[in-house]
């Protein structure tokens, strides 16, 4: 595919738009390669609060070098990432500490820098502290839009008592695994446990674990299967009977297992539960990836288009989740992961059915996050414009807008969604619960 956006940005109108909107040119995004260090450089640490003192030690656990900085960096000092502990900010007047830390450092960043601001969930504090903590969201989302050069900026709200449960999240957000995740707000320990599960092997955190992935034969599902396999999991792929061949081929390659069925079938939840219980003694990771679109404006929406989209994208995940939980098939410490969508957050023309189904997936996360027991978590990803075979068929202008109207001026890759799911699935992410994280390059589209 030729990059027609670049051609456009050389035109008079394009130049004007780029200049006035401050749109960055698409930067090359570094992505994680198995076996590589998580961060190829130093992470600068600053701020004061509940986390500052332990950050260097936490990062060392996962092999990330860090250095405390205050004020201007030393001559020649460069940073691949920054972490600022803002949990100590208790009033709006305190917020200037953000400027004081970041302003002198922003010119010392390497390409593809990863920035994390740590705060306290606003709903867990009150008065002036709550205001200051909530203000962090406007700050980080703005910095995400102006950092440029393929950089990412996130806000991580860490609940009181969850300070030691941040390791897997920092490892994800400071590394190229989160290349296409930016402008996001993550909560740790805000629902369920505040304690991180134990990890025997940080290189293969899912060793000995079983992961169910629906819609696993191709596209994003295939990438999810590959990344979970890389992390040590035994993957059980599910897809429709028509996709049996590619599904089997992939699962054989990954030393996994497979099951062909229509997830909307009446007995599908029971069949899946039975298979996982009989063959694998349960399941640790459940990824509800299978999804369809049947776009039509509502004025022309036939009932079958409505029903099939709601059925596959929402009712099936609901029923399968319920059956797996009711039958006790999900192992303690397991994770359930939904796939929502930007459309489910912002709405989209021609997608009343699809957006309702994806907003419903967010509802499923909300409804279960405080109910699940035995350290089981539920979270969702909300992909933006991800480049797949399906999107290659999208008309030029829609594709270009989808790809460019984000802070990174480019579409994401299936692996970006898969890495986010692997972070949720990580045993050390047991305090990461009830989150919906967009994988969208901080797309402009939103609610």
Q: Which is nearer to its own copies, 115 or 276 (CB)?
A: 115
E strand residue ranges, 240-347:
257-260, 283-288, 330-339
Gap between the Cα atoms of 210 and 232, Å rounded: 9
The Cβ of residue 222 has, within 10 Å, a number of other Cβ atoms equal to 23
Q: Which is nearer to its own copies, 170 or 445 (CB)?
A: 445
Gap between the Cα atoms of 157 and 57, Å rounded: 19
Give phi and psi for 129, each to the nearest 5. -70, -40
We find the least distance from the C-beta atom of residue 228 to its own copies, in angstroms, to be 26
We find the least distance from the C-beta atom of residue 394 to its own copies, in angstroms, to be 9
Q: Which is nearer to its own copies, 65 or 94 (CB)?
A: 94
Is the Cβ–Cβ distance between 442 and 207 less than 8 Å?
no
Q: Name residue, tokens 């009977």.
A: 241
Q: Which is nearer to its own copies, 35 or 396 (CB)?
A: 396
Name the CA dihedral angle for 150, 413, 314, 342, rounded to a multiple of 10 degrees.
Answer: 30
Query: Would you call 410 helix, strand, or coil by DSSP?
Result: coil
DSSP state of 28: P
**How does strand 79-85 pair with strand 65-68?**
unpaired
We find the least distance from the C-beta atom of residue 337 to its own copies, in angstroms, to be 16
Angle 160-162-166 (CA atoms, 0-180°, nearest 5)?
A: 135
Is residue 32 part of the annotated active site? The answer reads no
We find the least distance from the C-beta atom of residue 224 to its own copies, in angstroms, to be 23
Q: Which is nearer to its own copies, 62 or 436 (CB)?
A: 436
Is the Cβ–Cβ distance between 208 and 425 less than 8 Å?
no
Q: Which is nearer to its own copies, 143 or 235 (CB)?
A: 143
What would the two tokens of residue 333 be?
Answer: 């410490």
Gap between the Cα atoms of 104 and 99, Å rounded: 8
Gap between the Cα atoms of 213 and 432, Å rounded: 20
- Give, in order, the Cα–Cα distances in Å from 358 to each of 238, 292, 306: 20, 11, 13
We find the least distance from the C-beta atom of residue 352 to its own copies, in angstroms, to be 4
Q: Which residues 6+ apart lie within 8 Å of 177 measured at CB? A: 31, 32, 38, 171, 419, 420, 422, 423
Among the listed residues 5, 157, 354, 424, the single catalytic one is: 354
Q: Which residues 6+ apart lie within 8 Å of 184 measured at CB? A: 154, 155, 437, 438
What would the two tokens of residue 166 be?
Answer: 């941040």
Gap between the Cα atoms of 165 and 411, Å rounded: 31
We find the least distance from the C-beta atom of residue 206 to its own copies, in angstroms, to be 28
We find the least distance from the C-beta atom of residue 406 to its own copies, in angstroms, to be 11
Identify the H or E element spanning 354: helix 352-369
Q: Which is nearer to its own copies, 234 or 357 (CB)?
A: 357
We find the least distance from the C-beta atom of residue 91 to its own copies, in angstroms, to be 8
Q: Which is nearer to its own copies, 64 or 86 (CB)?
A: 86
Catalytic residue positions?
354
């Amino acid at each position: 595919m030729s990059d027609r956006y670049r051609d456009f940005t050389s035109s008079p109108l394009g130049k004007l738009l780029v200049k006035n909107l401050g749109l960055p040119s698409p930067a090359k995004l570094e992505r994680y390669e198995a076996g590589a260090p998580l961060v190829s450089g130093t992470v600068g640490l600053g701020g004061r609060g509940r986390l500052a003192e332990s950050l260097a030690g936490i990062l060392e656990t996962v092999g990330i070098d860090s250095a405390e900085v205050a004020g201007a960096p030393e001559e020649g000092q460069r940073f691949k990432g920054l972490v600022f502990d803002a949990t100590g900010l208790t009033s709006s007047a305190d917020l200037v500490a953000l400027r004081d830390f970041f302003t002198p450092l922003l010119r010392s960043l390497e390409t593809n820098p990863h920035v994390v601001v740590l705060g306290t969930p606003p709903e867990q504090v009150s008065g002036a502290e709550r205001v200051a903590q909530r203000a962090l969201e406007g700050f980080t989302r703005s910095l995400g839009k102006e950092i440029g050069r393929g950089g990412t900026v996130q806000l991580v709200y860490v609940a009181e008592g969850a300070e030691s449960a941040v390791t897997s999240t920092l490892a994800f957000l400071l590394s190229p695994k989160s290349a296409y995740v930016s402008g996001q707000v993550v909560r740790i320990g805000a629902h369920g446990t505040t304690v991180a599960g134990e990890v025997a092997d940080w290189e293969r955190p899912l060793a000995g674990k079983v992961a169910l992935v629906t819609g696993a034969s191709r596209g994003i599902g295939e990438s999810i299967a590959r990344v979970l396999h890389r992390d040590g999991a035994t993957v059980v792929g599910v897809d429709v009977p028509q996709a049996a061949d590619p599904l089997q081929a992939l699962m054989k390659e990954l030393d996994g297992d497979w099951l062909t069925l229509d997830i909307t079938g009446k007995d599908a939840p029971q069949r899946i539960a039975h298979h996982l219980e009989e063959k694998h003694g349960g399941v640790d990771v459940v990824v509800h990836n299978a999804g369809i679109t049947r776009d039509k404006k509502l004025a022309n929406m036939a009932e079958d288009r409505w029903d099939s989209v709601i059925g596959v994208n929402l009712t099936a995940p609901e029923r399968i989740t319920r059956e797996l939980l009711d039958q006790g098939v999900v192992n303690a410490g397991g994770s359930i992961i939904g796939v929502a969508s930007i459309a489910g957050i912002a709405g989209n023309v021609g997608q009343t059915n699809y957006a309702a189904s994806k907003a419903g997936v967010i509802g499923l996360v909300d409804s279960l996050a405080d109910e699940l027991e035995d350290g089981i978590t539920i979270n969702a990803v909300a992909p933006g414009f991800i480049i797949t075979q399906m999107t290659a068929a999208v008309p030029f202008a829609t594709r270009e807008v989808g790809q460019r109207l984000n802070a990174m001026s480019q579409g994401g890759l299936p692996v970006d969604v898969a890495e986010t799911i692997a972070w949720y699935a990580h045993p050390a992410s047991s305090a990461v619960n009830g989150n919906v994280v967009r994988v969208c390059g901080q797309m402009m589209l939103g609610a």
